[in-house]
Amino acid sequence: MVIEYSFTKTKSAVAVPLGFNSVMTRSRAFWSKAYAVLKDWALPIVVALFGVLLKLVTDKREAKRLEQDRVKALRAETWKQMLPETHRLTTKYYMPMAYAAERVSLYCNRYAAGTSDQEKTESARRAYYGMLLLNRRIQEASETVGGLYFKNRTGEKIAITCVVKIREIYPGTEEQSLRTHDQAVQLIQFNERLDSFMQKLDNPAEPANAPVIADWTSFREFLCQAEAVKRVRTLCQIFEAVVTYESNRPYEYWYGVPDKMELADGLAGTILNLFSSDNDKNAAEAYLSAATTTQVLESE
Q: What is the pLDDT of residue 20?
A: 60
> Is 6 a residue whose pLDDT tops 80?
no
* CB contact burial 235-249 (16+ within 10 A = b; e otherwise): bbbbbbbbbbbbbbb
* CB contact burial 194-212 (16+ within 10 A = b; e otherwise): eeebeebeeeeeeeebebb
Residue with the bigger pLDDT between 6 and 102: it is: 102
- Under the banding of pLDDT at 50, 70 and 90, the label for residue 21 is low
Helix (H, G, I), strand (E, B), or coil: what is residue 15?
A: strand
Average pLDDT over residues 32-36: 67
- Under the banding of pLDDT at 50, 70 and 90, the label for residue 297 is very low
> In whole angstroms, what is the distance from residue 72 CA to residue 67 CA?
8
Q: What is the pLDDT of residue 176?
A: 94
> In whole angstroms, what is the distance from residue 43 CA to residue 20 CA?
30
Q: What is the pLDDT of residue 233?
A: 96
In angstroms, the Cα distances linking 246 to 64, 242, 273 are 31, 6, 21
Opening angle at CA 186, ends 221 and 139, nearest 5? 95
- Under the banding of pLDDT at 50, 70 and 90, the label for residue 56 is confident
Please indicate, yes or no, whether the overall pTM of this predicted structure exceeds 0.85.
no
- Cβ-based neighbours of 25, under 8 Å, separated by 6 or more: none
- Under the banding of pLDDT at 50, 70 and 90, the label for residue 281 is very high
What does the mean pLDDT of the chain come to?
85
Weakest mean pLDDT among 57-66, 126-135, 137-146? 57-66
